[in-house]
């Protein structure tokens, strides 16, 4: 059982890393932080396509990673 959970944890870790790395960045350094505030304030929406899917995948993978890690620690 422990080995199966460790394998699932490793797969979830890889999915989390890939989904975070494939997401587009929100700002372009210091100039993005200065100019990006107006975009957030006036509601320039994030695209509902690829970025939204990657964001949801990353959220689910992060939750699974935390839960699986806690379960494995509690088992030992």
Q: What is the pLDDT of residues 60-73, one digit of tens each?
A: 999 999 999 999 99
pTM of the model: 0.71
Query: What are the phi and psi torsion angles at 61 (to 5°)?
Result: -65, -35
- 17-45 tens-digit pLDDT: 999 999 987 665 555 556 555 555 555 55
For CA atoms 29, 31, 37, 39, give the dihedral sign.
Answer: negative
Number of CB atoms found within 10 A of residue 46's CB: 10
């Amino acid at each position: 059982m422990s080995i199966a959970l460790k394998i699932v944890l490793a797969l979830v870790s890889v999915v989390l890393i890939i989904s975070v790395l494939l997401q587009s960045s929100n700002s372009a350094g210091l100039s993005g932080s200065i100019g990006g505030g107006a975009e957030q304030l006036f509601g320039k929406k994030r695209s509902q396509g690829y970025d939204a899917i990657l964001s949801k995948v990353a959220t689910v993978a992060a939750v699974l990673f935390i839960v699986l890690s806690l379960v494995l620690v509690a088992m030992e």
